[in-house]
């Protein structure tokens, strides 16, 4: 009887072990199945959020087309596109978007010089001048001109950027640091390895760092790329962000006086080297429909006693061709962020020239 009882106990333990192993396998299989199922749902939701963003982009192109129908030569904040951030409910989510004018801020790529000059159009135009001195067509050469005045490296855009840095009033940034920042960014953008000034930096400087890299010697792709440029700290970049922007692959230096944010009048004072009071008067005097021509700006009484050179006046325009759409979409708790940069062509066609996925 004892032997039989012993065998029964071993069998019972064996059965219990088998049941335990089967239960563990079943739990693991169920968990993996749920994980794969949730992953599939997340991918599907994220894909749907992406298509919502594409829908927002298509809708924005339509908005821009309607905004400039009949107003091809003037861009102002009273138009349909300038409605600020808007949200639209959709099935199982929503779409939030905001259109901004990339010519209402200072284009950092304007500091990229080819032949020692920045592009400043002599008149408001919807065509970006050619960036290459070897391939400029006769039409483009009559619509644009190069300038060589300014206190920073003979570049009017660099001189304006230096004044802007000082006008913002960044903590611990004096005129010396401001000039170094301009020189370093100019070296980062130019197509050579020659240091501009004492504050500049090229491959030798960056390759000697603890984590070495080389200068881009090309256009910036994002404002955040300033983190890799000498003299630019995180705090400085955060202070600059409201005033500057990046137009991809273009050193176009034309600021639309009709769309400058009233809180960012420092941009205007830096461009024309005028006081804040005069800059605020220019902005407040543009009305709901903005200035119709650039001559209307300089006809203001506030500017009649101010000596402003023609090449500095040419930094201002009353129309814009580059716009940015900042989109956030949700679907089933999945989020998607998309930044689209669009260009308005002469025939009022809207082209997407850049897309960036992410918050910034």
DSSP one-letter string for 125-138: -SSPPPS-SSS--H
| Residues 339 and 278 sit within 8 Å (Cβ to Cβ) | no
| 323 contact partners, CB below 8 Å, separation of at least 6 | 60, 64, 81, 99, 100, 101, 102, 341, 342, 343, 344
Closest CA to 133 of 118, 148, 123, 121: 118
**Alpha carbon separation from 342 to 198, 217, 325 (Å, rounded):** 37, 24, 8
Q: Residue 117: what pLDDT?
A: 46
Share of the chain above pLDDT 70, in %: 86
Q: Residue 183: what pLDDT?
A: 94
Question: pLDDT tier at 3 (50, 70, 90 boundaries)?
Answer: low
User: Hey, what are 167's tokens?
Assistant: 């006008």
User: Hey, what are 223's tokens?
Assistant: 């404002």
**Residues 81, 206: Cα–Cα separation, whole Å:** 42
Question: pLDDT tier at 41 (50, 70, 90 boundaries)?
Answer: confident
| 33 contact partners, CB below 8 Å, separation of at least 6 | none
Q: Residue 348: what pLDDT?
A: 82
Q: Residue 273: what pLDDT?
A: 92
User: Hey, what are 129's tokens?
Assistant: 């001048």
Helix axes 156-168, 175-189, angle to 10 degrees: 140
pLDDT digits (tens, 9 = 90+) for 202-234: 999 999 999 999 999 999 999 999 999 999 999
3-state secondary structure of 182: helix
Question: pLDDT tier at 43 (50, 70, 90 boundaries)?
Answer: confident
Q: Residue 143: what pLDDT?
A: 36
Of 164 and 5, the structure prediction assigns the larger pLDDT to 164
**Alpha carbon separation from 172 to 140, 165, 232, 241, 270 (Å, rounded):** 42, 11, 12, 17, 19
pLDDT digits (tens, 9 = 90+) for 132-148: 333 333 333 333 333 33
pTM of this prediction?
0.79
Q: What is the DSSP code (8-state) at residue 104?
A: S
Closest CA to 158 of 193, 195, 107, 192: 107
Residue 180: is its pLDDT beyond 90?
A: yes
| Residues 343 and 67 sit within 8 Å (Cβ to Cβ) | no
| Residues 323 and 105 sit within 8 Å (Cβ to Cβ) | no
Question: pLDDT tier at 279 (50, 70, 90 boundaries)?
Answer: very high
In the chain, the domains with their CATH numbers are: 2-102+323-357 (3.30.1300.30), 106-319 (1.10.40.60)
Q: Residue 128: what pLDDT?
A: 34
Of 150 and 357, the structure prediction assigns the larger pLDDT to 357
**Sign of the C-alpha dihedral, residues 54, 58, 64, 66?**
negative
Neighbours of 132 (CB within 10 A): 9
User: Hey, what are 307's tokens?
Assistant: 């000596």
Residue 317: is its pLDDT beyond 90?
A: yes
Residue 89: is its pLDDT beyond 50?
A: yes
User: Hey, what are 286's tokens?
Assistant: 């543009």
Q: What is the DSSP code (8-state) at residue 245?
A: E
């Amino acid at each position: 009887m004892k032997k039989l009882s012993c065998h029964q106990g071993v069998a019972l333990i064996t059965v219990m072990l088998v049941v335990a192993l089967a239960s563990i396998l079943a739990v693991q299989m169920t968990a993996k199945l749920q994980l794969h199922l949730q992953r599939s749902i997340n991918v599907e939701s994220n894909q749907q959020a992406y298509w919502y963003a594409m829908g927002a982009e298509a809708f924005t192109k339509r908005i821009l087309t309607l905004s400039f129908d009949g107003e091809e030569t003037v861009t102002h904040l009273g138009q349909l596109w300038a409605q600020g951030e808007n949200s639209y409910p959709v099935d199982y989510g929503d779409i939030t978007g905001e259109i901004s004018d990339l010519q209402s801020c200072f284009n950092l790529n304007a500091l990229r010089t080819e032949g020692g000059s920045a592009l400043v159009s002599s008149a408001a135009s919807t065509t970006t001048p050619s960036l290459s001195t070897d391939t400029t067509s006769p039409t483009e050469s009559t619509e644009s001109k190069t300038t060589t005045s300014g206190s920073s490296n003979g570049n009017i855009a660099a001189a304006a950027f230096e004044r802007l840095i000082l006008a913002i009033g960044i903590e611990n940034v004096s005129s010396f640091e401001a000039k170094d920042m301009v020189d370093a960014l100019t070296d980062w953008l130019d197509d050579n390895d020659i240091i501009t000034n004492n504050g500049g930096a090229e491959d030798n400087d960056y390759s000697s760092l603890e984590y070495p890299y080389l200068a881009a010697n090309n256009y910036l792709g994002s404002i955040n790329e300033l983190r890799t440029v000498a003299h630019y700290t995180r705090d400085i970049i955060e202070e600059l962000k409201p005033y500057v922007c990046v137009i991809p692959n273009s050193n176009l230096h034309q600021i639309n006086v009709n769309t400058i944010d009233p809180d960012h009048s420092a941009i205007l004072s830096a461009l024309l080297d005028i006081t804040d009071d005069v800059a605020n008067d220019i902005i407040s005097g543009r009305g709901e429909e903005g200035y119709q021509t650039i001559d209307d700006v300089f006809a203001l009484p506030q500017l009649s006693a101010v000596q402003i050179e023609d090449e500095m006046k040419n930094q201002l325009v009353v129309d814009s061709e580059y716009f940015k759409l900042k989109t956030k979409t949700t679907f089933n708790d999945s989020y998607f962020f998309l930044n689209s940069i669009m260009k308005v062509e002469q025939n009022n066609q809207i082209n997407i020239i850049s897309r960036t996925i992410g918050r910034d």
